[in-house]
Amino acid sequence: MIFDFSRQGLSRADAFLERLFEVLPGLTSWTVLLGMLALSFAQPILAAVLIIAFDLYWLLRLFYMTLFLLLSSARLSLERGTDWMARIRALDRWAASQGAEPAIGDRCATVQQHFSGWIHRRQLVSLQRQAVDLPPSTGLRHLVMFTVASETPEVLEPGVVSLTQQSFPPKQMLIMFAVEERAGRERIAALRRLAERYRAQFLDFLVVVHPDGLPGEARVKGANATCAAREAAAYWRAHEVPFERVIVSCFDADTVVSPEYFSCLTYSFLMTPDRTQASFQPIPVYHNNIWEVPGFARVLDIGSSFFQLIEATNPEKLVTFSSHSMSFKALVDVDYWPVDLISEDSAIFWKAFLHYDGRYRVVPMYVTVSMDVAASGSWWQTVEDVYKQKRRWAWGVENFPIVMRAFLKARRIPFSAKLTHGFKLFESHVSWATSAFLVSLIGWFPAWFAGREFSSSVLYYSAPRIAGVIFRLASLALVTTIIVSLCLLPRPKRRAPYALFRRIGHAIEWLLIPFFAMGFSALPALDAQTRLMLGRYMEFWVAGKERDLRRRPLFGMRKPRMMESA
């Protein structure tokens, strides 16, 4: 369907709908929280019953998620030894042989490799059944974009170096620095020098400067990336490279990819039947500075990685997040990223989903991209940075009203798909803002503020026992999470003193997760939803007729770096 994925320039009816759906998540979250608070005073018995029902739901959901965290992390470990390039070469040979039996490609020496090979074989058989056309990998090109707001070359260089170390030939990669004009001439010049230094190792290395304050754009990453992508489109046209043979990866400035990333991406691209209608989502990890940041920031970002690991097991409902890749053709078809939304990472998925009438999906990749944990020098500054980063993530709720408006108009998208996606989008945001408060704080209110009637009831004496059992069972999930966390985390640097103690300390940090979850997950989410509900948008909108940028503050985005960090 043709749909303008924006909240600007709406008709009165659309503006009303947009506003209605903007209010809905925040209103629901506040109703849940305040309603439970009021019930705790007015109807404590009913409140306690609801809390028990919710705690039980939360426990089962926790177990459910832990189960898939284990499976997903096992799959990630399984694929660590996979020789993706060998598989790509085998696919190339299979495509060239026309009709021969597909070969696995890489060797299967270990149990993990055997298992990985088994999965690969199943996919090959499926591919064979569907008679999917396999383009040769040598004909594919990668466009790798780093969006830069004001980051220094020192921040970007590790990411560029990681590209030179790819098992996939770097000569098939076009690298691009998408730089904001407001970064300043000196910074842009420094980035050009960096590009020049590495240009010879790639197909090409371009620096595209995004002019500041273009009409119709907000100061968001999507506008910068779109500007660069348009330049890239011109480049591919000039070099006669069809867009369906180009895979674009849009990375944050601090992204460092694992050496197998582009091999795995190419493999996933080739193995996906409708590959031009798919995004490819790696597992984002925050290992670049994981041992240099305060404990709460470490636990929170590992938690985010775990969430993505769990989501990866549910590709039907997976939505792109942070650094990811997609077909360049799809990007051009949907008219690039939204230029007025902050959450461009998820918005691009919804744009494509709507454009292709629901025939667009996200393919999970069991390979990691590593980024920085948001952290500044001081502890308190890190608190502020982490809070704002989580609020920006939670600002993804801005997609909800637009998606819902589109769903109301989309006739070709199946109702079940609209229902499941719409409900998940809504429920995940409301749950994000309320669950931690309900479980850790509000759940205790009926007992804390018990009046005479409630404190004389059987429920008053039974509820703590039930809650105790639920939390003891929940601690099993926590212990599992701690073990997975310790297994997946990189070791502290060898010379770092007390490395073992740091790992033990990290395990203990997890015990504070109820407080971290309230302060740095639920609260920022509630903050973001409240802002959306009140129409206090987290962006700097450049009006079409006005270009006076100095007089309007960058709301909630005091630091440009925060805007860009994932």
Partner 1 sequence: MRLFRRIAFYAFLLLYVVLCPVTVFSTLGYVFIPGGQQQIVKTGLIYLATAPPGATVYVGNRRFTRQTPTILRELQPGTYDIRLAVKGHRPWTHRVPVEAEQATVLEHVLLLPRSLHPVQAALGPFENLLPVSDKVLLLQRGPLLRHVTVYDPRAEREWPLLAPGSPLESARLIDASRVPDSDAVVLEVVFGGSERLLWADLSGREPHIEDLSSFLVRRPLWVTWDAEDKRHVFALQDKAIHRIDLAARTSYPAFVNRAVGMGVFRHALYVLREHGVLERMDPQGHSSEVLWRNLIPGPPPAADAAFRVQLLSDDTVLLWGRRGELLANHAPYQLVERGVRGVVHAPKQHRRALVWQRDRLGVLDFSGAVEGGSVEEMPPLRWAYKQGRDIRQAFWMYDGSHGLIRDDDQVLLLDLETYGKPEQQLLFRVKRHSAIAYSEEAGVLYYLDPSSGSLMACELLPKREILPFPDRREPPRRPTLEEP
Per CB under 8 A, residues contacting partner 1 are 48-49, 52-53, 56-57, 60-61, 63-64, 67-68, 71, 313-316, 447-453, 455-464, 466
Cα three-residue angle 124-126-129, rounded to 5 degrees: 110
Three-state DSSP state, 142: strand
Residue closer to partner 1 (CB basis): 112 or 313: 313
Q: How far is the CB of 319 from partner 1 (least distance, A)?
A: 16
Q: How far is the CB of 357 from partner 1 (least distance, A)?
A: 22
Residue closer to partner 1 (CB basis): 48 or 232: 48
Residue closer to partner 1 (CB basis): 70 or 554: 70
Q: How far is the CB of 206 from partner 1 (least distance, A)?
A: 39
Residue closer to partner 1 (CB basis): 138 or 456: 456
Q: How far is the CB of 40 from partner 1 (least distance, A)?
A: 12
In sequence order, which residues have a C-beta less than 8 Å from that of residue 167 and are 6 or more positions away?
A: 84, 85, 259, 260, 262, 263
Q: For residues 552 and 539, give the distance between their C-alpha atoms in angstroms, rounded to a whole number.
A: 11
Q: Write phi, then psi, for 18 (nearest 5 degrees).
A: -55, -45
Looking up tokens 């003891």, which residue turns up?
472
**What DSSP assignment string belongs to 502-517?**
HHHHHHHHGGGHHHHH
Residue closer to partner 1 (CB basis): 211 or 451: 451
Q: Based on the number of CB atoms within 10 Å of its own CB, is 395 exposed (0-12), middle (13-18) or buried (19 or more)? A: buried
Residue closer to partner 1 (CB basis): 63 or 471: 63
Q: Based on the number of CB atoms within 10 Å of its own CB, is 403 exposed (0-12), middle (13-18) or buried (19 or more)? A: buried
Residue closer to partner 1 (CB basis): 43 or 530: 43
Q: How far is the CB of 358 from partner 1 (least distance, A)?
A: 17
Q: For residues 239 and 428, give the distance between their C-alpha atoms in angstroms, rounded to a whole number.
A: 43
Residue closer to partner 1 (CB basis): 61 or 536: 61
Q: How far is the CB of 452 from partner 1 (least distance, A)?
A: 6
Other CB atoms within 10 Å distance of the CB of residue 505: 12
Q: Write phi, then psi, for 325 (nearest 5 degrees).
A: -130, 160
Q: For residues 146 and 174, give the distance between their C-alpha atoms in angstroms, rounded to a whole number.
A: 11
Q: How far is the CB of 70 from partner 1 (least distance, A)?
A: 12
Q: How far is the CB of 444 from partner 1 (least distance, A)?
A: 11
Q: How far is the CB of 67 from partner 1 (least distance, A)?
A: 6
Residue closer to partner 1 (CB basis): 129 or 495: 129
Q: Based on the number of CB atoms within 10 Å of its own CB, is 294 exposed (0-12), middle (13-18) or buried (19 or more)? A: middle
Residue 455 and residue 462 in contact, taking contact as beta carbons nearer than 8 Å? no
Q: For residues 24 and 91, give the distance between their C-alpha atoms in angstroms, rounded to a whole number.
A: 48
Q: How far is the CB of 136 from partner 1 (least distance, A)?
A: 29
**Both tokens assigned to 292:** 């240099």
**Both tokens assigned to 445:** 């209110």
Residue closer to partner 1 (CB basis): 70 or 190: 70
Residue closer to partner 1 (CB basis): 451 or 544: 451
Q: How far is CA 62 from CA 91, 137, 227, 298, 475, in A?
A: 39, 41, 42, 20, 10
Q: How far is the CB of 64 from partner 1 (least distance, A)?
A: 5
Residue closer to partner 1 (CB basis): 10 or 56: 56
Q: Based on the number of CB atoms within 10 Å of its own CB, is 303 exposed (0-12), middle (13-18) or buried (19 or more)? A: middle
Q: How far is CA 433 from CA 268, 308, 518, 530, in A?
A: 34, 18, 9, 10
**Both tokens assigned to 515:** 């407080």
Q: How far is the CB of 448 from partner 1 (least distance, A)?
A: 6
Residue closer to partner 1 (CB basis): 59 or 209: 59
Q: How far is the CB of 363 from partner 1 (least distance, A)?
A: 13
Q: Is the dihedral of CA 549, 550, 551, 556 positive or negative?
A: positive
* Strand arrangement, sheet containing 204-210: 204-210, 173-180, 141-148, 246-252, 324-327, 278-285, 361-370, 256-257
